[in-house]
A and B are shown apart, each in its own frame.
Chain A
Amino acid sequence: MDKKTDVSIMTWILVAFCVINIFFLVTGKLGFDAKGLGIITAVALTLAMYSFLYKDNPVFKIAENLFVGVAMGYWIIITWFNILKPDVFEQLIVPFFKDTGNAPQYIVIIPTLLGIFMLLRFSDKLSWLSRWSFAFVVGLGAGITIPNFIHAFILKQLTFDSLIAGSLPDSINNFLILLGVVSVLIYFFFSLEHKGVIGGVSRIGVWFLMIAFGASFGFTVMARMSLLIGRIQFLIRDWLGIIQ
């Protein structure tokens, strides 16, 4: 479709949107308050985001950029009030300049400096300081993560009760898990040629992988459709008031 048609479609949608909202505001279906105006804004942004399904357009771009900006602003405010203000400002800076009855927590200087060093990545001259922060994060992360992950995700997963469980379906399930793990591991074992028994078992592994991918795809479809259902529920319940 040409640009002229696209503009006329956009204009008609915008006119219809305005007419519906004016009607709702005049009839009192939507209040001229924070809630009513909030619903109208949310509807406008929802429709703007879904307009991408027709084709990429400026309305979608505006909504997309607005989302990124608002989300970032929200994160900054939450981080200030939940972390920087109580843990740094009130612990170190305020007691330093004012008698609050508490001594300044000088230990806070170390993580604060490491945090500031991270931001120095943007400076050509001082970016080397950010390596100290990254070294600290990588070292601490590895030290904490490796033993805990080995314990929780390998050793615990290796704990094997019994093939014969309480009920027949559970026993079959346990057997399938064992077969799946062994066959998939053999499929990814490349030191032996996949021929004969090894080839047969690795083929079973391929089937397990395909079933796993299918299950993941099914769950992904369900997740994406849930988001659409939620938005349509919002449009026809909270905005149009068609359903309760």
Chain B
Amino acid sequence: MERLLKIDRRIIFVFVAAAVTIPLLIKFDLPVIATKEVRGIYDKIDSLSEGSHVLIAFDYDPASKEELQPMAVALLHHCFKNNIKVIGMTLNPGGTGLADSAITEVGKEYGRKYKEDYVFLGYKTGVELVMINMGENIYSAFPKDFKGNTTTDMPALKDVQSLQDFDFVVDLASGSSIEAWIAFGKEKYNFDLGAGCTAVIGPDMYPFLQSKQIEGLMSGLKGAAEYETLINRKSSAVAGMSPQSVVHVLVVFFVIFGNTLYFMTRRKK
């Protein structure tokens, strides 16, 4: 029993690797049911009329790509499918490449034109100061887009002067930018806000759902999988749900196994 308690951690790693790899190879589908939180964002975007403006803040970098990029791609599919104008931006310098590739690739898939149907404004430093600046005048915060084009006469931004003019704002965050968007954006300039975040910060966001400071919440890979299910476009997030479930069962088993052994050895002593 003592030996089992001092098991080499690498054996556990092998079990975890197998629990992730085998379900991906065998491929079995588990039902992904959309929760009320994720449906909040879906319903909001679905209710927007053609030509509405949605601002997506890609506030994450490659370290959180596996969780947040599927969310971004699913959101973009939904927006472009409904002929909604998408304005992208980031407050994280590491997020520029991911945001630009996601917005361009999905836009191309639907035959949307850059500057007319979508635009990527790029990165600005300052987080809350950028939000306040955007709340006053978006062209002052972003006089040029990521590619260096002047934003003032861009058709995609027609009728948009400040944050208030966006029909919906979604922040995809790997850090604390959702709180900043709530405090310095939504509460100050009064617009509808949705949030997508890594699973680690997911629990911290629930109080904002209860107080209706955010319309909806996508949390981690599961949130992305739920959104993919809602738009009927099952991709990498849904594919990741079966290994996720298997590995969760394995972790629960290890927790029970470890605790049982611990209490048994303690009783023996």
Residues on A facing B (Cβ under 8 Å): 53-54, 71, 74-75, 78-79, 82-83, 86, 144-145, 148-149, 151-153, 156-157, 159, 177, 212, 215-216, 219-223, 225-233, 236, 242-243
A221 to B250, CA, bound (A): 11
B200 with A79: CB separation less than 8 A: no
- Contact among B65, B183, B251 for A221, CB-based, below 8 A: B251
Taking the nearest CB of chain B, how far is it from the CB of A232, in angstroms? 5
Taking the nearest CB of chain B, how far is it from the CB of A124, in angstroms? 28
A231 to B66, CA, bound (A): 8
- With a cutoff of 8 Å between Cβ atoms, the chain A residues found around residue B247 in the complex are 225, 228-229
Give the contact stretch, choosing among B21-29, B39-47, B48-56, B102-110: B21-29
A71 with B94: CB separation less than 8 A: yes
Number of A-B contacts (CB under 8 A): 131
A236 with B248: CB separation less than 8 A: no
A192 to B25, CA, bound (A): 59
Q: Name, among A54, A74, A219, the residue most crowded by chain B CB atoms within 10 Å (CB to CB).
A: A219
**Given known A-B contacts A79-B93, A236-B25, A243-B27, A226 and B128 have beta carbons under 8 A apart:** no
Which DSSP category, helix, strand, loop or mixed, fits chain A's interface? helix
- With a cutoff of 8 Å between Cβ atoms, the chain A residues found around residue B243 in the complex are 225, 229, 232
Cβ of B175 under 8 Å from chain A: no
A157 with B211: CB separation less than 8 A: yes
- Contact among A145, A149, A221, A233 for B24, CB-based, below 8 A: A233
Give the contact stretch, choosing among B76-84, B159-167, B213-221, B261-269: B213-221
Give 7 A-B pairs besides A83-B123, A152-B183 with Cβ atoms closer than 8 angstroms. A152-B187, A215-B203, A219-B199, A220-B200, A229-B240, A233-B24, A236-B21
B10 with A53: CB separation less than 8 A: yes
A54 with B10: CB separation less than 8 A: yes
B213 with A223: CB separation less than 8 A: no
**Given known A-B contacts A82-B124, A144-B128, A153-B179, A229 and B202 have beta carbons under 8 A apart:** no
**Given known A-B contacts A153-B183, A231-B66, A226 and B94 have beta carbons under 8 A apart:** no
Q: Which 4 A-B pairs have the closest CB atoms?
A: A230-B66, A223-B199, A226-B221, A152-B183
A221 to B124, CA, bound (A): 32
Q: Name, among A212, A215, A219, A226, the residue most crowded by chain B CB atoms within 10 Å (CB to CB).
A: A226
**Given known A-B contacts A148-B187, A232-B24, A226 and B123 have beta carbons under 8 A apart:** no
Cβ of B139 under 8 Å from chain A: no
A220 to B199, CA, bound (A): 6
**Given known A-B contacts A82-B122, A83-B124, A229 and B66 have beta carbons under 8 A apart:** yes
- Contact among B67, B187, B203, B244 for A151, CB-based, below 8 A: B187
Q: Which residue of A lies closest to B122 (CB)?
A: A82
- With a cutoff of 8 Å between Cβ atoms, the chain A residues found around residue B258 in the complex are none
- With a cutoff of 8 Å between Cβ atoms, the chain B residues found around residue A212 in the complex are 203
Taking the nearest CB of chain A, how far is it from the CB of B171, in angstroms? 14
Cβ of B152 under 8 Å from chain A: no
